[in-house]
Structures are given as C-alpha cells and as structure tokens.
Structure 1
Amino acid sequence: MFTGSIVALVTPMTTEGAVDFEALKRLVEWHIQEGTQGIVAMGTTGESATLETDEHVAVVQAVCDAAAGRVQVIAGNGGSATHRVVALTKALDELPIDGYLTATPAYNKPTQEGLIAHFKAVAAATAKPILLYNVPGRTAVDMKPQTVATLSELPNIVGIKEATGDLARLADLQALVAEDFVLLSGDDATCRAFMAAGGHGIISVTVNVAPKAMREMCDAALRGDAMAALKRDLPIQGLHRSLFIESNPTPAKWALKRLGLLATDTLRLPLVPLTAAGQASVEADLKKAGLI
C-alpha cells in the first residue's frame, strides 16, 4: 500500500512567514518528476506544530491538487490532545488523500494504554488508512511493539513509521504483526539496513533534497540488490546526518534554498535559521552528494 521512497515534505514559506503555495506546487511537481513515490504533507518536517488548522488543511489540499492523483498523498494529523486530532482528521477526511500519518501525542507522555485509546479514537473518525508514527525523540513517548500489534488489529491501521533508528525494533515488530502490515523507516541513516531486513520503505527528510538518489537506493534495497543500494547510498550518507545537525526542517529548508528550489528558508518560531556552522556542514554534504 505505502512503499518505497516517500518524502516528509517541507512547507515553503514567504519571508513574512505565510505559506508559499506556488513554491509548494513546484516542489510537488519536482518530486513527481524525480520519482518520489509518496508525499507526506503536514508532518513534522512540514512544521505542522506551528500552522493553524485552516493552514494545515489548505496545505494538504494544495498538495493533493498539485499531485492530481499521480503520487500518493499522506496527511499528517498528529497532535497532543485526542479530541483535536479527531477534529483535524474529520476536517481532512473529505480531501482526496490516500491516508494519514498519526504521530504519538507529544509532551503529555501517555501510557501504552493511553496510546491505544488515543489511536482507537482517531481510527474511529475515518475509514482511510492510518500509519502510526513512533518518534520518541520528538514526543518523549515510545510506542512499544506489543502496542503496535494491538493497534494493527484495527482494520484501518495499516502500518507504522518507526523512527527510533533501532533495527532490533524492526525484528520485534515483524514477529508480532501480519505480513501485510506496512513497516516504514523514519530514520534516514539506517533506512537502507531497515529495508534490507524486510522493511517496506521510508518516510524521509533526505528525499527533500536528493529524491532521485533516494528512489534509486530504495528500489535497489527492496529488490534485494545490496551492492547497488550501498553504491547509491554512500554519496548521500553525509546528508542523512547533516540534515539533522539542527532541528528538522531547518537544514532541509536551507539546503532547498541553496539548491535554488526555494526562494527562502523561512521557518516559524521557535525554529530559527540554520547557523553558519550548520550551513557549512550541509554545503559540504551537498557537494559530496553531487547536488551542487
């Protein structure tokens, strides 16, 4: 259902901090031409935490319009309060999206029982497919494999973006969920190994700046050609690190501006522009990747 190279898309902004819908349209078209297989709109990398609900819905709508059915569109709908996530899901549900990426609630640190109750409520608000999103480094809560297995029994919870970077976690999940449960990496640095061990793809930050290389690497990894996957991954391994040298999506937006794909690298507070040291690191890795 969801597989291969999927971008966690940035949200372009004007110098004044408004969503730049024309730039967003251009990015979507570029990704389609470069071979990206899916787009997550309004995930963490899209700065969903700092956009208002009407902006959030408008960005997802704009991505759907630009994609025009040529590539899968997954809407981020995470949040810390279950009732707000349910309301957002209902607001998004009339759009022509292919599914949702729902992160574990941040800050309030629910128990595993709380996570189950949260995701059951979200799943009841839509008939569309839902990908769970486990990212403890952002949310301060780790959704354990047994919790994932319990939630996988719900008909529209179809997979997970697992962003711990712990490859042992993949094996734990594989032992507990059905074969058709989608297992996606959320960690660029380990995604090649994740797919080699049976994962189905990645929702990626690196795809923002190196979509062709990531598609080729994923294709090779998923067909079991380890040497071809390694050859394609080696030049972009630096980007897997430097795009997280400061808070995501700060380096990715700067890189897109450096590549001429965005006019600005504007972020919304509390995120601030990439430091000079960060710029030097990203610049060096863009050169190593052959992108500049």
Structure 2
Amino acid sequence: RIVKEIPGVVGIKEASGNISQIVKLMALTDGNIDLYSGNDDQVVPLLSMGGLGVISVVANVAPRAMHDMCYKFFEGDIAGAAKLQRDTNELCNNLFSEVNPIPVKKAVEFMGYQAGPLRMPLTEMEPAHAAALKKAMQDFGIL
C-alpha cells in the first residue's frame, strides 16, 4: 500500500523474518522497489529472491564478511555466500541477544573503541550475554 500511495518510495528494508511475506512483497512490487535485508541471518535467502543487499548490524564488527557474502552472491558463488551466511550465524545470534544497539555497542567496546553511553531506557548488557558475545567474536576471529 505504501508503495502505491507515497510517491518516491524507492526501497524497502525487509526485517520481518517471514520468508512468505518477503515473497509476497516481491510479487506486489513486481521488482520496481529495491529490497534490502534487515535481518543479518537472512541475507542470502533474500538475495536469492531478488534483494539487492543488506542493512547490517553484523557489518559494524565484521564488515568484510558481510561485504564478501553479498559480493560472492552477485558474482555467482552462491555456495561461498551461503557458507559465509552459516559462518556468521553464531555472531549474528549473539549480536541480537538483546535489543539493538546494546550488543553492537558492547561488541565495539570489546574491539577497543568507545561506543558511548546507552540512552534511556536501554540498560547495560546482561553479563551472560556479554560473555557469549565475546566468545562468538573470538570464535569468528575478530577478537
């Protein structure tokens, strides 16, 4: 409806997590709207349905991996893109263990950068989640 009623809409960040909804959206827009994944764990599936890329949280801490995932897909290396999708899964899960931006700010801190304070009503990351995130980052090789 928005696409038909509001002129100038050129793209959609799809973050429902619902593959059936994504297929329906692609059919309704008939390829006339650029579609980007808003879910880091569904990049390759969305690209396979005609998506153009990702608006990524994971890219804040692993930009090369997300770049390479899309690049490989568009170069025809679907297996390579799918492998990167699988390889980033645990990191992705941990970056979404709490509401954004809590985990990504903690991840950036683990990398030695100042992320700044959280704004109300957000609170510090649960210690167990922070430990799991740190381990996922170590396992992925970014710490």
Please give the TM-score of this superposition, normalised by the length of structure 2. Answer: 0.91
Partner letter of residue 136 of structure 2? D
- Stretches of structure 2 that go unaligned for 5 or more consecutive residues are none
* Greater C-alpha Rg: 1
Distance in 2, matches of 1:274 and 1:185, equals: 25
- Name which of 40, 45, 48 aligns with 1:193: 45
- Name which of 278, 289, 292 aligns with 2:129: 278
**Aligned partners of 1:250 and 1:267 also within 8 Å:** yes
Deviations 1:173-211 (A, max 9, x none): 121114241011111111221112221111111111110
Distance in 2, matches of 1:274 and 1:265, equals: 14
1:231 maps to 2:83? yes
Compute the displacement of 1:163 (Å): 0.7
Q: Secondary structure at the match of 2:47?
A: helix
- Name which of 112, 117, 120 aligns with 1:269: 120
Higher helix content, 1 or 2: 2
- Name which of 104, 109, 117 aligns with 1:252: 104
| Identity across matched positions, percent | 34
**Aligned partners of 1:266 and 1:273 also within 8 Å:** no
Deviations 1:25-71 (A, max 9, x none): xxxxxxxxxxxxxxxxxxxxxxxxxxxxxxxxxxxxxxxxxxxxxxx
Compute the displacement of 1:263 (Å): 2.2
Change (3 A) 1:230 1:200: same
Higher strand content, 1 or 2: 1
Q: Secondary structure at the match of 1:204?
A: coil
- Stretches of structure 1 that go unaligned for 5 or more consecutive residues are 1-146
Please give the TM-score of this superposition, normalised by the length of structure 1. Answer: 0.46
Change (3 A) 1:220 1:284: same
Change (3 A) 1:175 1:204: same
- Runs of at least 4 residues of structure 1 off by over 6 A? none
1:221 maps to 2:73? yes
1:291 maps to 2:138? no
Residues 133-172 of structure 1 mapped to structure 2, 5 A cutoff: 147-151=1-5, 154=7, 156-172=8-24
Change (3 A) 1:148 1:289: farther
Q: How many residues align?
A: 143
Compute the displacement of 1:248 (Å): 0.6
Distance in 2, matches of 1:216 and 1:177, equals: 27
**Aligned partners of 1:158 and 1:181 also within 8 Å:** yes
**Aligned partners of 1:250 and 1:271 also within 8 Å:** yes
Distance in 1, matches of 2:114 and 2:29, equals: 44
